[in-house]
Amino acid sequence: MTVTEEATEEAPPRRRRVTSLEVLCVLLVLALVGQSWLASALDVAAIKTGATVFVAVCAQALPFLVVGVLISGAIAAFLSADLLRRVLPKRAALAVPVAGVAGIALPNCECAAVPVARRLIQQDVPASVAVTFLLAAPAVNPIVLVATAVAFPGEPKMVLARFLGSMGTAVAMGWLWARFGKMEWFAERAMRRLPEHVDGRSRWAVFFETARQDLVDAGGFLVVGGLTAAVLNVVVPRSWIDTLGAQLVLGVVVMAVLAVVLALCSEADAFVVASLSTMPLLPRLVFLVVGPAIDIKLFALQAGTLGRRFAVRFAPLTFVVAIGCAVVAGVLVLGGVR
Amino acid sequence: MRRETQNILLVLLGGALLKMSFTGTYLRYVKPSHQWLLVAAGAVMILLAAVSIVRELRGETDLDGHGDHAHAARSAWLLILPVLAVFLVAPPALGSDSVGRAAGNRSAPPAASSTEGDGSALFPALPAGDPIALPLSEFSSRAAWDRAHSLDERTARLTGFVVQEGDDTYVARLAIACCAADAFPVKIELRGRELSNLPDDSWVEVLARLRPGTATRANEYVPAVSVQAVRSIPEPEDPYEH
């Protein structure tokens, strides 16, 4: 990995007369020539483990990102801003819960929700609604809830608690945004409108072009997230989770941080926490609610797609709100710590 | 970045996904049912790039306009990393290094309705057969939690890779729920034979009997077995348990 990163930095993408196409060719040739050197440089146990995790995160997330950009392209091409305005309730206070419920119907992973949310904002949907959808879609869809039920066969209440915690986070963040959010936090390119096209042929052209552009943009940031997750996966020793045992407050904080750091996909995280049998249910619920709402890979995607100024405000607030909602849902549904 | 370059990167990335799903190397990274998703995603990527290339050739570039994507598209360079990783490096499946990073078997007590307060439970009876082939994860959770002691007096056939830790030799395997990022290790200590000559990460098939009562809270529920026979085998197509 190090080799290609160095090579990317050396590449002069904007020097006159050297186009990116030629840079790419040179990079590929260099990589091919240096393949055996590359392979031997990576022949360290920890780096190999990291490389495997990196490819795994990419292979896991890319199909869902593709689904997301296709939906995003379809919204851009076939759903006019007028139509969306008519469908959604006028008042943000009502539209936010509607967006949360819409999240149930669209089973996709967190990486897919980011381009869709951006497209909704471009189509004049209030940002509070888009934000709610962004948080709800990966967390409360049927696939995730069934996976949770399978992972916790003796604890059906865990599914309800997860649903309420995640939905609470999404709706609370939507309302908070409606009250305090500012549109200028979004990057200019996230807001740029597409020209309205009328005839059928150019609608398809819009569909293909927006989907392709979204994929190229978001794909790069997904790679950043995958790299970070791979490094942390190797560096953070998972064994120290087990020593926490009954330390409740510490357990909640550590599990929340771990959810951000490990960046697991929302259909798998339940299986991972289910195996932490020494830990009470409440910290494990916090892990399940925080993970789909915000993690390191998602932060990279949001910063790239929606703007850095948006992400540095949105991510920490989501983190705090998600912990709060998870604790409340846990106390109400699970009846305490357990 | 120019659109042509973006399209080439998309074709390469789509090709990488198709390559790993057709050659079977995807099993090192994700669960088996993910294969068709990878194929579909790779095909869609190549299709999106192809449509753009065709439009470019026909001179229809009215929509996007050049230039103002300059900032956003810089991140697209990173797409080359997974491409190079898949085509040139092809990282191996997780092995003994990952086992060493975890403390023990994080096997949870089975959450069945018959679970007792101490976590023990009644497992369904084992099928007949001698030796009986068992996944390492099932073997170790039965060893730790089965109240009926269904493994006692049974010879099991275990498949995994070798992990040497200090003076002890283990057979281990990683279990994944979704992708290799969520893998957790299961290991079983091999006793009764001198096996320290087996190198780390070499795949073996072990015939062995459980030493009852060896999987305890103190040793993180890592059971020990008495080895009867060890045979070297090639790495199985799917290196993980699910």
Closest chain A residue by Cα to residue B71: A189
pLDDT in tens, B145-172: 888 888 888 899 999 999 998 889 999 9
Residue with more model confidence, A275 or A125: A125
Min mean pLDDT across A40-49, A101-110, A174-183 is at A101-110
Burial track B161-180 (b if 16+ CB lie within 10 A, e otherwise) = bbbbeeeebbbbbbbbbbbb
State mean pLDDT over A302-327: 91
pLDDT at site A117: 86
Q: Is the pLDDT of residue B104 over 70?
A: no
Of the ranges A91-95, A298-302, B38-42, B87-91, which is most confident?
B38-42
State mean pLDDT over B72-76: 68
Q: Do A20 and B1 touch (CB under 8 A)?
A: yes
pLDDT in tens, A231-242: 877 876 665 665
Report the alpha-carbon distance of residue B37 to residue B62 in Å, rounded.
32
Q: Do B111 and A155 touch (CB under 8 A)?
A: yes
* Residue A32 CB contacts under 8 Å (≥ 6 apart), including other chains: B88
Residues 125-164 of A with CB under 8 A from B: 151-155
Q: Is the pLDDT of residue A322 over 80?
A: yes
Residue with more model confidence, A92 or A327: A327
Report the alpha-carbon distance of residue B79 to residue A215 in Å, rounded.
10
Q: Is the pLDDT of residue A320 over 70?
A: yes
Percent of chain B topping pLDDT 70: 87
pLDDT in tens, B114-150: 455 566 777 888 888 888 999 998 899 888 888 888 8
Q: How confident is the model at residue A17 (pLDDT cuts 50, 70, 90)?
A: low
Contacts 24+ apart (CB under 8 A), A145-150: A147/A267, A147/A268, A147/A270, A147/A271, A148/A270, A148/A288, A150/A270, A150/A271
Closest chain B residue by Cα to residue A63: B41
Q: Does A5 touch chain B (CB under 8 A)?
A: yes
Cross-chain CB nearest to B45 (options A60, A66, A217): A66
pLDDT at site B111: 47
Q: Is the pLDDT of residue B225 over 90?
A: yes
Structure tokens at B15: 């090709």
State mean pLDDT over B13-26: 95
pLDDT at site A1: 41
Is the Cα torsion angle A44, A47, A53, A54 positive or negative in sign? Answer: negative
Of the ranges A265-279, B40-54, B146-160, B207-221, which is most confident?
B40-54
Min mean pLDDT across A96-105, A206-215, A323-332, B208-217 is at A96-105
Q: How confident is the model at residue A338 (pLDDT cuts 50, 70, 90)?
A: low
Structure tokens at B102: 């975890």
State mean pLDDT over B86-110: 78
Q: Are B82 and A31 in contact (CB under 8 A)?
A: no
Q: Is the pLDDT of residue A4 over 50?
A: no
State mean pLDDT over A195-215: 77
Residue with more model confidence, B13 or B242: B13
* Residue A188 CB contacts under 8 Å (≥ 6 apart), including other chains: none
Burial class (CB in 10 A: 0-12, 13-18, 19+), B20: buried
Burial class (CB in 10 A: 0-12, 13-18, 19+), A324: middle
pLDDT at site B206: 95
The letter for the amino acid at B41 is A
Q: Is the pLDDT of residue A172 over 90?
A: yes
H/E segment holding residue B130: none
Q: Is the pLDDT of residue A150 over 80?
A: no
Per DSSP, the three-state class of A273 is helix
pLDDT at site A193: 63
Of the ranges A15-29, B58-72, B107-121, which is most confident?
A15-29
Q: Are B191 and B225 in contact (CB under 8 A)?
A: yes
Is the Cα torsion angle B115, B116, B117, B118 positive or negative in sign? Answer: negative
State mean pLDDT over A325-335: 89
pLDDT in tens, A62-89: 888 888 888 888 887 887 777 777 777 8
Choose from B3, B36, B64, B97 for mutation: most chain A CBs within 10 A.
B97
Place of tokens 């795994």: A56
Q: Do B178 and A265 touch (CB under 8 A)?
A: yes
Q: Do A32 and B71 touch (CB under 8 A)?
A: no
ipTM of model:
0.90
Report the alpha-carbon distance of residue B208 to residue B192 in Å, rounded.
10
Report the alpha-carbon distance of residue A47 to residue A56 in Å, rounded.
14
Q: Is the pLDDT of residue A42 over 60?
A: yes
State mean pLDDT over A188-214: 74
Q: Does A304 touch chain B (CB under 8 A)?
A: yes
Cross-chain CB nearest to A264 (options B26, B80, B182): B182
Q: Is the pLDDT of residue A246 over 80?
A: no
Contacts with B179 from chain A: Cβ below 8 Å: 56-57, 59-60, 265, 268
The letter for the amino acid at A312 is V
Place of tokens 């915690």: A165
pLDDT at site B158: 95
Q: Is the pLDDT of residue A46 over 90?
A: no
Q: Is the pLDDT of residue B212 over 60?
A: yes
The letter for the amino acid at A40 is S
Q: Does A32 touch chain B (CB under 8 A)?
A: yes
pLDDT at site A241: 61
Q: Are B78 and A29 in contact (CB under 8 A)?
A: no
Residue with more model confidence, B117 or A34: A34
H/E segment holding residue A16: none
pLDDT at site B106: 59
Nearest Cα residue to A281 out of A222, A319, A336? A336
Q: Are A201 and B58 in contact (CB under 8 A)?
A: no
Nearest Cα residue to B75 out of A308, A338, A67, A264? A308
Contacts with A195 from chain B: Cβ below 8 Å: 63
